[in-house]
A and B are shown apart, each in its own frame.
Chain A
Amino acid sequence: KQEVTQIPAALSVPEGENLVLNCSFTDSAIYNLQWFRQDPGKGLTSLLLIQSSQREQTSGRLNASLDKSSGRSTLYIAASQPGDSATYLCAVYPDKLIFGTGTRLQVFP
């Protein structure tokens, strides 16, 4: 059974820091991995999707990598800003999404 774990569960940093959020999964037979952002009480916003044949994806200050053989993905946030404060979720696809429990990020000025 696929299980997804995210570390750390919570993170509080000053503005400007570069951050690494970690995601691990137990079964490497995945199609894709996707990172989402969720603001309190809101739905999910897709950040990056990495297809199984890819090793990384970049969007602006965000970079996500995928290592299927080790069952790990990292989300790198450069030059963090207070507006980045949210919960970040990773999820893996066979056909339905299996989510981790998220990393709650707070960036203070």
Chain B
Amino acid sequence: DTGVSQDPRHKITKRGQNVTFRCDPISEHNRLYWYRQTLGQGPEFLTYFQNEAQLEKSRLLSDRFSAERPKGSFSTLEIQRTEQGDSAMYLCASSRPSLADYEQYFGPGTRLTVT
């Protein structure tokens, strides 16, 4: 069990560019979550998958954002036409819900800076 990994850890991009982040969950975890955290705030939910199905999207997820989990394993989060307001830490988490355990395990995050 190697934990949740995210790539890249840091990304600096210019406004208007597209960026893509990757998250690899803990193996056998069927749920995968994306959160966004801005400075001084708690993380906010963006979207989550159960296997390859995207079950919920926050209204924070504008049409410039898209997330996929094509084979129910890793997931990607793409932001098109980035804006300075997109600068944040993007966190990924995974879980394997059961009656006894809903715990989510977090990755180290990807810090995005839009200049």
Q: Is A66 an interface residue when CB atoms closer than 8 A count as contact?
A: no
A56 to chain B minimum Cβ distance, whole angstroms, is 17
Known: A100-B42, A101-B42, A102-B42. A43 touches B106 (CB 8 A): yes
A99 touches B (CB below 8 Å) = yes
> Does any Cβ of A come within 8 Å of B105's Cβ?
yes
With the chains together, A43 CA to B44 CA distance in Å? Answer: 14
Determine whether A29 belongs to the interface, using a CB cutoff of 8 Å to chain B: no
Cα(A26)–Cα(B15), bound, Å: 38
Q: Which of B42, B43, B105 has the most CB of A within 10 A?
A: B42
Contact: B108 with A43, CB < 8 Å? yes
B-side interface residues, number (CB < 8 Å): 24
Q: Are B103 and A34 in contact (CB under 8 A)?
A: yes
Instruction: Say yes or no: A97 contacts B104, CB within 8 Å.
Output: yes
A-B interface contact total, Cβ < 8 Å: 54
Q: Which of B33-41, B68-76, B77-85 touches A? A: B33-41
Q: Does B25 contact A (CB under 8 A)?
A: no
Please tell me which one of the listed residues B41, B100, B106, B111 contacts residue A101 in the complex, with CB atoms under 8 A apart: B41
Stretch binding the partner chain, chosen from A14-22, A71-79, A88-96 = A88-96
A42 at the interface (CB under 8 A from B): yes
A97 lies within 8 A of B103 (CB): no
Whose C-beta in chain A lies nearest to the C-beta of B41? A101
Instruction: Please tell me if A44 contacts chain B, counting CB pairs below 8 Å.
Output: yes
- The docked-state distance in angstroms from the alpha carbon of A42 to that of B111 is 9
Taking the closest CB of chain B, its distance from the CB of A46, in whole angstroms, is: 7
**CB within 8 Å of B: which of A31-72?**
31-32, 34, 36, 41-46, 49, 51
Give B82-109 as 1s and 0s: 1 = Cβ < 8 Å from A's Cβ atoms: 0000000101010001001011111111
What are 13 of the A-B contact pairs (CB < 8 Å)? Answer: A43-B106, A43-B109, A44-B106, A46-B105, A46-B106, A51-B100, A89-B42, A91-B42, A95-B56, A97-B93, A97-B104, A101-B42, A102-B41
